[in-house]
Amino acid sequence: MSDVMVYVQHLLGIGHVRRMALINHALRDEGLGVTVVSGGVPDYSLDFAASEVIQLSPCKTSDTGFSGLVDPEGNALGDDWQEKRKRQLMTAFKETAPKLLLVEMFPFGRRAFRFELIPLFESATEAGVPIICSVRDLLVRKKDISKTRWMRDTARKYLDAVLVHGDPQLFGFDRSFEFADDISELIAYTGYVAPKVTNDVSDGVEADRSGVLVSAGGGAVGAELIRLAISARAHSQKYNDAIWDIVAGPHFPSDQFDLLRGQLPDGVILHRFLPDFRERMAGAAVSISQAGYNTLMDVLATRTPAVMVPFAEGGESEQTERAEVLANEGVISLLDLDGLSAQSLAKQIDNARQPSGIKIALDGAKRTASIIAEKIKGQA
């Protein structure tokens, strides 16, 4: 038995599981027991802060266009796999017997998993277990309006709350979800889910920083940016003698990782991952990365000068949209990968400046845990 059962499914990057891990730590601080049910390819370096982690038969997307689901070896998955997953999930729910169900993204994303999540919602509703959706500030817009209506109708039918991990001072949920007004009574803004940092880090000054940190999130995408960044070092006038740490990510292809490692110039260090990534960012002179939610939050929390190149393949729009708003606020330098050269990237790196003091809430994990704790208390 657990207080909260958390369902999380990542397909390409690891931003969703990283955000959920921060929330789980805050739930633990509230004295709540958490069981995590994860459906993505396992990342054993991640601390879920859970009493138990139940791994479903894992899957990932077949490509950056999210055209289909495959197993970790790249084999297509069919009806038999769906039935197996559904059984595993329903068994986990029955054995966990949670007081509350927290689901990442669905029904505002993860539509491909409705084969298992709708039955889970039905069982939770029948058992009187509240269902809360944890969702980021911006959605990927759907071209088919019927899918957006389905999101709204599913939310109204099953959900007790929609916790939006954003700040309406920056933009509201209605910016990317046109039926937000129809579920306004469900929506609660938590603020952004950002890592905790010490005051001396958050108030740090540029003069105390050194080195360049290049990262690619989970590493499933981002190889081109990493190669460009490595080439940019020779063209940088400020940082060509500095140490450049390259963090490829746990899912960066092994053959490409080995190839890169054999070609690195002196002063460039390649890492699969860094357990002290946020601390490294807090001390870096410049961060170079894609513009995923979690990396942006790391930049905001540590006030690190940042150059970002959003991932925009497969119809993904949320990284670019959020990054454009923050670039206009003077928080980051924003680049487009198309046409980007090592020379132009180096120029942006040399010109990167510490983010302006944007005033948005960054205590989203704590606020989320508080809302969930109150919800559970109200069910008692």
How many Å apart are CA 161 and CA 46, to the nearest integer? 27
Percent of the chain with pLDDT over 90: 67
Does 316 or 81 have the greater pLDDT score?
81
Instruction: Tell me what pLDDT residue 93 has.
Output: 98
| 303 DSSP assignment | T
Instruction: For residue 71, give every residue at least 6 positions away whose Cβ sits within 8 Å of its Cβ, in sequence order, or none.
Output: 57, 58, 59, 60, 77, 81
Task: Give the residue with greater pLDDT, 217 vs 300.
Answer: 300
Residue 315 has pLDDT above 70, yes or no: no
Q: CA 175, CA 179: separation in Å to the nearest integer?
A: 10
Question: Could you tell me which of 335, 332, 353 has the C-alpha nearest to residue 345?
Answer: 335
CA 324 – CA 333 distance, rounded (Å): 9
The mean pLDDT of the chain is 91
DSSP, residue by residue, 314-330: TT--HHHHHHHHHHHTT
* Torsional class of 56: left (φ above 0), alpha (ψ -120 to 50), beta (otherwise): beta
pLDDT band at 96 (very low <50, low <70, confident <90, very high): very high
Which CATH number is 199-351's, of 1.10.287.610, 3.40.50.2000, 1.10.3720.10, 3.30.1490.190?
3.40.50.2000
Tokens of 68: 């289909």
- Mean pLDDT within 82-95: 98
pLDDT tens, residue by residue, 254-295: 888 999 998 899 999 999 988 888 899 999 999 999 988 888
CA distances from 82 to 85, 87, 273 (A): 5, 9, 32
Tens digit of pLDDT for each residue in 97-153?
999 999 999 999 999 999 999 999 999 999 999 999 999 999 988 889 999 999 999
d(CA 319, CA 224): 17
| Paired residues of 340 in beta bridges | none
Percent of the chain with pLDDT over 70: 94
Q: Which residues contact 332 (CB under 8 A, 6 or more apart)?
A: 291, 296, 299, 306, 307, 308, 323, 326, 355
* pTM for this entry: 0.87
Other CB atoms within 10 Å distance of the CB of residue 21 = 22
For the domain made up of 4-192+362-379, the CATH class stated in words is alpha beta
Which regions of the chain carry the CATH code 3.40.50.2000? 4-192+362-379, 199-351
Q: Which two tokens stand for residue 98?
A: 């949670």
d(CA 29, CA 262): 44
pLDDT at 314 over 70: no
